Amino acid sequence: MTNLIGRPAEEIESLVAPHTDRPFRSRQVAHWILQRHATSFDDMTDLPADLRRRLGEIFVIDDPEVVERQDSADGSQKFLFRLTDGVTVEGVAMPEGRKVTLCLSTQSGCAVGCRFCVTGALGAGRNLVPGEIVGQYRAMLRAISQEVERVNIVFMGMGEPLLNTRHLGTALDVLYERVSPKRITVSTAGILPGIRWLAERSRRPKLAISLNAPDHERRAEIMPITDRYPLDALMDEVRRFPLERGRRVTFEYVLIRGFNDLEGDPPLIAKLLHGIPSKINVIPLNEDPKHLPGWHRPADDTIDRFATKLSSRGLTVTVRWSRGLDVAGACGQLKGQQQAS
């Protein structure tokens, strides 16, 4: 049967219309799925019972199955989802009062292979289809116990979003039904064709670039994709990226002890970002001795000093003290695997 999750309103209406007696019924179905997050046709109480039964024989409203949920001491929640073919992926919900940030995955692994990321260390997986991407959002939102007034979405989970532009584009269109593009961020390791694709879209989310080094040589050492898309070319592409009023490009900088936290690095970063409306997220490395041997997080005073030096160069800087560390749900830690008991 055809799953209606991950489809824009007009597609849902087109699929459902031939099986309804009145045109407005298909609009009702789309509204229930996209606006009210219905999980079955039985939820659609303003539809006649016989129509609900008939539609249920033709279509399904299926989100990924939640296999495991781990609650962090800091309030964040990591979810393990099983997809219809048995593949598993992870997503993270980070509530804060009546706001929540949902971190979604776009692939079941990652072929980019950044050396500071567990997902990359575990290797490539397949692209997720729109229903599997949007389904993570729906499932996590349902699982959050407190009332949510504002949702932010970050595509910073498993996979490189801009290597899955076909399905990401549809998922974005569906998510825009409930979440403003200015509250959605797509993070990339620097896939130039993908950045151009994003730039050409009429409604664009915010752009985040995983930078992690102030020069090509060191970036290539920890991000092999740099050899294909050189740092200078990436920065040229970012400078051409159209920014809506008030928006800035976010540059993520995973701080690794003795590698990219040197005294002379903040001036190099400032020079690299000169002229780009931007902000920098400094992310202390989340260590994993098994999958990331030899890489360590800097001391807290080094982190603070590094951020202060960036700020003194006129840059907007935040330090992202990662959430979900105790459940391996922080930046770069997602594995898509069930935790051994």
Count of other CB atoms within 10 angstroms of residue 39: 16
Q: Which of 8-22, 219-233, 283-297 shows the lowest mean pLDDT across its residues?
A: 283-297
pLDDT at 340: 45
What is d(CA 260, CA 89) in angstroms, rounded to the nearest whole number? Answer: 30
Q: Give whole-number Cα distances, 204 to 152, 172, 227, 303, in Å.
A: 14, 9, 27, 32
**What count of residues does the chain have?**
341
Q: Which of 17-26, 156-165, 258-267, 289-298 shows the lowest mean pLDDT across its residues?
A: 289-298
Q: Which residue has the higher pLDDT, 320 or 261?
A: 261
Count of other CB atoms within 10 angstroms of residue 29: 28
pLDDT at 144: 86
What is d(CA 268, CA 49) in angstroms, rounded to the nearest whole number? Answer: 66
Question: Rounded to two decimals, what is the model's pTM?
Answer: 0.92
pLDDT grade, residue 214 (50/70/90)?
very high
Task: Select which of 90, 132, 160, 237 is catalytic.
Answer: 90
Is 34 a residue whose pLDDT tops 70?
yes
Q: Are 279 and 316 in contact (CB under 8 A)?
A: yes
Is 314 a residue whose pLDDT tops 70?
yes
pLDDT tens by residue, 257-308: 999 999 999 999 999 999 999 999 999 998 778 778 888 999 999 999 999 9
Q: Are 295 and 116 in contact (CB under 8 A)?
A: yes
State the amino acid at position 180 in one-letter form. S
Is 330 a residue whose pLDDT tops 70?
no
200 noted as active-site residue:
no
Torsion 222-228-233-234 (CA) sign = negative
Residues near 86 by Cβ (< 8 Å), separated by ≥ 6? none
Q: Are 69 and 327 in contact (CB under 8 A)?
A: no
Count of other CB atoms within 10 angstroms of residue 85: 8
What is the CB-side half-sphere exposure of residue 57 using CA atoms within 13 A? 6
Is 121 a residue whose pLDDT tops 80?
no
Task: Select which of 110, 114, 117, 331 is catalytic.
Answer: 331
114 noted as active-site residue:
no
Percent of the chain with pLDDT over 90: 80
State the amino acid at position 34 in one-letter form. L
The DSSP code sequence of 214-230 is SSHHHHHHH-THHHHS-
pLDDT at 157: 92
Catalogue the E-assigned strands of the chain.
2-3, 59-60, 65-71, 77-82, 88-96, 99-103, 150-155, 184-188, 206-210, 249-255, 278-284, 317-319
pLDDT tens by residue, 54-113: 999 999 999 999 999 998 888 889 999 999 999 999 999 999 888 999 999 999 999 999
Q: Which two tokens stand for residue 35?
A: 């606006």
pLDDT grade, residue 341 (50/70/90)?
very low
Q: Which of 24-38, 252-266, 325-339 shows the lowest mean pLDDT across its residues?
A: 325-339
Average pLDDT over residues 115-124: 83
Percent of the chain with pLDDT over 70: 94
pLDDT grade, residue 339 (50/70/90)?
low
Domains delineated in the chain: 2-60 (1.10.150.530), 65-327 (3.20.20.70)
